[in-house]
Structure 1
Amino acid sequence: MLLKTGDWVKGTLRDGELIIGYIDSLDVYEVVKVTVVTSDNHEIIGKTVPILSGSVKKLPKSKVNNKAQIQFLIDLALATGDEEWFIDLSSKLNTMNELVSQL
């Protein structure tokens, strides 16, 4: 499994906390730094934590099928400061809105 910066992952920290987030950086010692978006430990949400690459699993890319999903992901892109993703999602939402207005 090849991990790269920006990949969404889920994993378990040493203390057993479950996390979902995206890879902020990787190092040569097989440690990834994950920015936590959700966790059962609310104190680490929004923080970047180091975790062994073997303790994370890459999440599959999701297929966005409807307007509500895109709007949720736009909020997530804003919350994580991912401008490129925000622009991509906004473009998809605008395309959907144009198609609906042509009906």
Structure 2
Amino acid sequence: MKLFEGNLKVGDWVKGKSRNGELIYGYIKMIDPSKKAALINVVKSDDEKMVGTTIGMMDEKIEKLPLQKTAHEEQILSLIDLALLTKDKAWFSELTAELKKSQDKKQG
């Protein structure tokens, strides 16, 4: 019942196992409360064919990934590329602001 307890929301990064047992990492694209399920955009999996697909998963199979702070500009730039690929405008804005802060610290 994670989806309905407010623990998970659209845009959250998650991991889980698909119906066929593949380990997936991705983010929540849509939540369907009537089915207690979510659509997950897969960005990493032990089954390469899953990468880039969107799959439905029951909420008990989904685990939210902890947020991690990025310390290095190179990592931020890689995440910006991923935000562009996934067309996630909010994440892109957040990352570019973080990159600017990091660059300002180096100069100041």
TM-score when scaled to structure 1? Answer: 0.90
Partner of 2:21: 16
Query: Aligned letter for 1:53?
Result: D
Deviation at 1:99, TM superposition (A): 2.2
Q: Which runs of structure 2 are paired with 1:1-103 in the superposition (5 Å)?
A: 1=2, 2-27=7-32, 28-102=34-108
* Partner SS state of residue 84, structure 2: helix
Q: Which runs of 5+ in 1 are unaligned?
A: none
After superposing on structure 2, the runs of 4+ consecutive aligned residues of structure 1 that deviate more than 4 Å are none
Distance 1:63 1:96 in 2: 12
For structure 2, which runs of at least 5 residues remain unmatched after alignment? none
Structural RMSD (CA): 1.2
For residues 53-79 of structure 1, give each alpha carbon's deviation from its aligned partner in whole angstroms, at most 9, with x where no partner exists. Answer: 101100011111221221121111112
**Counterpart secondary structure, 2:70:** coil
Tell me how far apart the structure 1 counterparts of residues 53 and 102 of structure 2 sit (CA, whole Å). 34
Comparing 11-20 with 41-50, greater Cα deviation is found at 41-50
Q: Secondary structure at the match of 1:57?
A: strand
Q: Which amino acid aligns with 2:19?
A: R
Number of aligned residues: 102
Aligned-partner Cα distance in 2 for 1:62–1:73: 12
1:21 corresponds to which letter in structure 2? Answer: G
TM-score (norm. length: structure 2): 0.86
Q: Distance in 1 between matches of 2:43 and 2:57?
A: 15
